[in-house]
């Protein structure tokens, strides 16, 4: 019984620390208003930025003649027409020579970092990178150098010290940081990578669909071509999955060596087909992008006026800094009681003492939705 007791103790410890999480239950489709645990609430914390998750076109596109499952990994029977077609369309979308699909962004990041560097290599990772990049660094067995968040001087110093050694060097970063809503200095990173002979891998999970020409991302907006660009299909694209785009050589290495690609059943063709259709919807969503960013600007400004600590930013990810995890969770619960769902974010997702609410509007929110959300915040404002 010892193992079970130990597991029980671990759970009790998490609970004691105020860190035990439980999934809520959403009934019905995703949208600006959802039913959560039996209650109709305004949703302000999903990544369904363009409102595509319940788009009827995607559900229609999912219905095809090729069944439901891919039956094996990509290198066995799982490379179906849907996978090839969607990969081609995704590569064209981000203007890369080719792309490889993954079941999700976690698998794409873990697998790609682990495929691109290994023992004897050096990987340079922003301190606030997504957990999947961090785990890829760990799994790779390369030497990991964590540079201070967006600190180019620190990165340069580390590159000088370590990128000269035999072996490969790879810089990895989110382009839009998922919990802070700020951008990486992409152009400067590309320049540093070039100077030091390092590769550059950029995770565009939160920026694809929202920024850049037709939503093709921050790299496209800046004219930067990273060695590997990861995009996810579960956020702006409204479905599930991810891809890594790059040169034929880079993608070929990933197809051969990313363990999460080689040793995993290919994503189901309906999901892949819907992702292919989502590219067209994302491209055409310029009004939705404008609405999303207008909502974000209004929320940032009015929350600041209410006395909430919202750091400066221009993206659709709006952190409301609280600090103490219990306070963050209480504020989230009070908002929920008022019919507004904004998830509290606490360690280990963010560093201790930086707990926050992560507020994300959707293009499909109306002004009335925003009015109602802001009224709930006003009732709970620190200086209100
Ligand atoms: N990268 C970033 C920056 C993310 O925020 C996330 C998920 N939230 C992922 C990758 C993983 O993507 P997925 O949800 O498709 O596994």
Identify the band that residue 383 occupies on the pLDDT scale cut at 50, 70 and 90: low
How long is the chain? 384
Question: What average pLDDT does this structure show over 110-137?
Answer: 98
143-155 pLDDT per residue, tens:
999 999 999 999 9
The number of angstroms, rounded, from the C-alpha of 345 to the middle of its chain's C-alpha atoms is 15
Q: Does pTM surpass 0.85?
A: yes
CA separation, residue 177 to residues 120, 150, 277 (Å): 28, 10, 27
Q: Which two tokens stand for residue 327?
A: 């306070």
Report CA(204)–ligand 1 centroid distance (Å).
9
**339 φ/ψ angles, rounded to the nearest 5 degrees:** 85, 20
Pocket of ligand 1 (CB under 6 A): 104-106, 109, 130, 132, 174, 178, 203, 205-206, 232, 234, 242
201-243 pLDDT per residue, tens:
999 999 999 999 999 999 999 999 999 999 999 999 999 999 9
Paired sense of beta strands 169-174 and 122-126, if any: parallel
- Of ligand 1's listed atoms, the one at least distance from the Cα of 109 is 10
Report CA(275)–ligand 1 centroid distance (Å).
16
Return d(Cα 216, Cα 255) in angstroms, integer. 23
**56 φ/ψ angles, rounded to the nearest 5 degrees:** -60, -30
Q: Which two tokens stand for residue 257?
A: 């060596």
Return d(Cα 123, Cα 143) in angstroms, integer. 6
């Amino acid at each position: 019984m010892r193992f079970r007791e130990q597991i029980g103790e671990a759970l009790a410890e998490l609970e004691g620390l105020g860190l035990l999480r439980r999934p809520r239950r959403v009934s019905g489709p995703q949208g600006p208003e959802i039913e959560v645990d039996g209650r109709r609430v305004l949703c302000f914390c999903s990544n369904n930025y363009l409102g595509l998750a319940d788009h009827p076109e995607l559900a229609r596109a999912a219905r095809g003649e090729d069944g439901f499952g891919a039956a094996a990994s990509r290198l066995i029977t799982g490379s179906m027409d849907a996978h090839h077609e969607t990969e081609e369309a995704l590569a064209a979308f981000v203007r890369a020579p080719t792309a490889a699909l993954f079941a999700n962004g976690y698998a794409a990041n873990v697998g790609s970092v682990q495929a691109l560097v290994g023992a004897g290599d050096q990987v340079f990772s922003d301190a606030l990178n997504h957990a999947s990049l961090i785990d890829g660094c760990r799994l790779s067995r390369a030497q990991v150098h964590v540079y201070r968040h967006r600190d180019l001087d620190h990165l340069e110093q580390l590159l000088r010290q370590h990128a000269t050694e035999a072996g490969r060097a790879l810089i990895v970063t989110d382009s839009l940081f998922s919990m802070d809503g700020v951008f990486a200095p992409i152009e400067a990173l590309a320049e540093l990578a070039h100077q030091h002979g390092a590769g550059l891998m950029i995770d565009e999970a939160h920026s694809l669909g929202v920024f850049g020409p037709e939503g093709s991302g921050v790299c496209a907006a800046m004219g930067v071509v990273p060695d590997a660009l990861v995009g996810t299909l579960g956020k702006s694209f409204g479905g599930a999955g991810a891809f890594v785009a790059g040169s034929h050589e880079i993608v070929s290495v990933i197809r051969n060596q990313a363990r999460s690609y080689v040793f995993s059943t290919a994503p189901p063709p309906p999901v892949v087909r819907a992702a292919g259709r989502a590219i067209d919807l994302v491209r055409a969503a310029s009004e939705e992008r404008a609405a999303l960013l207008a909502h974000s600007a209004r929320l940032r400004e009015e929350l600041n006026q209410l006395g909430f600590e919202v750091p400066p930013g221009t993206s659709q990810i709006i952190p409301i800094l609280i600090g103490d995890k219990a306070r963050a969770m209480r504020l989230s619960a009070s908002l929920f009681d008022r019919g507004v769902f904004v998830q509290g974010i606490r360690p280990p997702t963010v560093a201790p003492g930086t707990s926050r609410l992560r507020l994300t509007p959707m293009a499909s929110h109306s002004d009335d939705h925003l009015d109602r959300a802001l009224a709930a915040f006003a009732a709970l404002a620190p200086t209100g």
